[in-house]
Amino acid sequence: MDEMEVKVYDTTLRDGTQGEDISFSVEDKLRITQKLDELGVHYIEGGWPGSNPRDVQYFREVEKIPLASAKIVAFGSTCRKGVPPDKDANTRALLEAKTEVITIFGKSWDMHPLTAMDISLVENLELIAKTVIFLKKHVPEVIYDAEHFFDGFKGNKAYALSTIKAAEEAGADCIVLCDTNGGTLPFELAEIIREVRGSITTPLGIHCHNDSDLAVANTIMAVKEGGVVQVQGTINGLGERCGNANLCSIIPSLQLKMGIQCLTDDRLRKLKDTSRFVSELANLTHNKHQPYVGDSAFAHKAGVHVSAIRKSPLTYEHIRPELVGNTQRILISDLSGEGNVLAKAEEFNIKLKKGDSTTKRILASLKELENQGYQFEGAEGSFELLIKKAVGRHKKFFDLLGFRVIVEKRGDGSPAFSEATIMVKVGDQVEHTAAEGNGPVNALDNALRKALEKFYPELTDVKLLDYKVRVLSAQEGTGAITRVLIESWDGQARWGTVGLSENIIEASWQALVDSIDYKLLKEEEEGIR
């Protein structure tokens, strides 16, 4: 397998959009196209121009975007029964997309022509051959996707093989074997591809769905055992039902584990950024537990693990996270040992010594606070403040003199109204102000910022990205202890803070104050103010 190269074929913009809750605008698709080109994928399947106006517009607009390396692909089906390719609306739409590569799919499972399409098996072979021959006259590269190939092979081997031979004889440049239902197991897939390899000479590709949670494994097996030279999939595994093969796992597995070139090393380091970008445009929370590119992929919590990776990351990391644009993270919780605290302090440029009284005091405070219900795994901003308070590197930027939050609702049909009034003291000056919000916490946040921004104008850059509430003791009902986690952002960095109280407003206040303290302390330490 040395020096072998595999082409990456991304179908996020077509197959990925068939997933539940996924919808990209034309502008989204164009931005993702540019991101995928920067990543270095070889093919970008933009959509099915014969199926909807949005994809037609996409192909019209993408022509105007200069791409460094990726080839844009139009996708469609073989022509219809009784309609020659040059008269078929779908085939004409493929040519009108003006791409240099076209992918068409045809039926490999004998059940589909006979049951779903109501045509004979011979007619199905003719449709495949006629469409490929016609398209090859007009574009330099035609890829044939053999839909349901593995199910078809298991049901009628001879016929499944005859469908891809028809595509080969018609001049297809690559034949892609599709596990469309996602039910094939890796050992079955390897055996089938080896038989296929003995029957045709056209380069092979692989397209797997994830219904058995094996799409990545099957794709890797296809490359290793079958010499497949094109891998198809989507960013983050987006796709219909359980999704498609996840390129964010396939690419680094092939390149870093098997030595098979997919991307340049510089572009591979853009993998996590690309993964997050697609999640954002899909309006999905990025999967933090996703291998390679998830925030938790190289996060360490247990004290024994942290102690070991501080000596050698290889003890609990299968690759260096920076190779895929990720970072090692040390988590803080009641499972933490001194190693966790020392590692986090080092991140914050704070020198602590193993076994000294300050380190022990911080660790004891951490465990006590977590026992009460605080959680610092998602609130590293609050934990940094905790350490800085312990070593004397914290300061108060304002004093609260008081606040009041009002929630009013007039009648069943009217929305609730929230207003917060606050009084703070900064130095010798007292600021008393009020603000509205779409909820009590939003109103309090707005009022606090309004009161402080005249003293600290840099707070105008801070945005509250996420607000999570968790009730810790459900048995207490509405009087239960509540934990609030807040994620903030200033356009460059993100940080999390936490608050805890039986009163949700008080818990929110604690987290809001920590968020502002964190920002102002960072600015002061970096000499910005």
Query: 344-378: buried (b, 16+ CB within 10 Å) or exposed (e) per residue?
Result: bbeebebebeeeeebbeebbeebeebbeebbbbbb
Reply yes or no on whether the pLDDT at 481 is more than 50: yes
Least confident segment among 53-57, 230-234, 435-439, 472-476:
472-476
CB 270 within 8 A of CB 39: yes
Query: Residues 315-336: what's their mean pLDDT?
Result: 84
Q: What is the pLDDT of residue 367?
A: 82
- 139-143, 311-315, 342-346, 405-409 — which one is most confidently predicted on average? 139-143
Find tokens 């919808």 and name the residue: 23
Reply yes or no on whether the pLDDT at 104 is more than 50: yes
Q: What is the pLDDT of residue 335?
A: 59
* All CATH 3.20.20.70 domain ranges in the chain, comma separated: 7-263
* 375 against 62, higher pLDDT: 62
Question: pLDDT confidence of 162, banded at 50, 70, 90?
Answer: very high
Distance CA 217, CA 376 (A): 35
Question: pLDDT confidence of 409, banded at 50, 70, 90?
Answer: confident
Reply yes or no on whether the pLDDT at 1 is more than 50: no
Question: pLDDT confidence of 351, banded at 50, 70, 90?
Answer: confident
CB 88 within 8 A of CB 80: yes
Tell which CATH classification among 1.10.1200, 3.30.160, 1.10.3470, 3.30.40 matches the domain 399-455.
3.30.160
User: Could you give the 3-state DSSP secondary structure of residue 297?
Assistant: coil
Query: Residues 504-509: what's their mean pLDDT?
Result: 94
Type of residue numbered 82 = G
Reply yes or no on whether the pLDDT at 307 is more than 90: no
Query: Residues 42-49: what's their mean pLDDT?
Result: 97
Q: What is the pLDDT of residue 2?
A: 47
* All CATH 3.30.160 domain ranges in the chain, comma separated: 399-455
Reply yes or no on whether the pLDDT at 58 is more than 50: yes
Q: CB burial class (10 A; 0-12, 13-18, 19+) of residue 224?
A: middle
Distance CA 298, CA 208 (A): 27
Q: CB burial class (10 A; 0-12, 13-18, 19+) of residue 21?
A: exposed
Least confident segment among 164-178, 284-298, 340-354, 446-460:
340-354
Q: What is the pLDDT of residue 479?
A: 60
Count of beta carbons in the 10 Å neighbourhood of residue 323: 15
Class of domain 7-263: alpha beta
Query: Residues 353-381: what's their mean pLDDT?
Result: 84
Q: Which residues contact 254 (CB under 8 A, 6 or more apart)?
A: 6, 220, 223, 231, 260, 262
pTM: 0.73
Q: Among candidates 422, 486, 485, 472, which has minimal Cα distance to 449?
A: 422
Percentage of residues of the chain with pLDDT beyond 70: 96
Q: What is the pLDDT of residue 195?
A: 96
Structure tokens at 321: 């996270």
Mean pLDDT of the chain: 91
Least confident segment among 214-228, 334-348, 400-414:
334-348
Q: What is the pLDDT of residue 61?
A: 96
CB 10 within 8 A of CB 36: yes
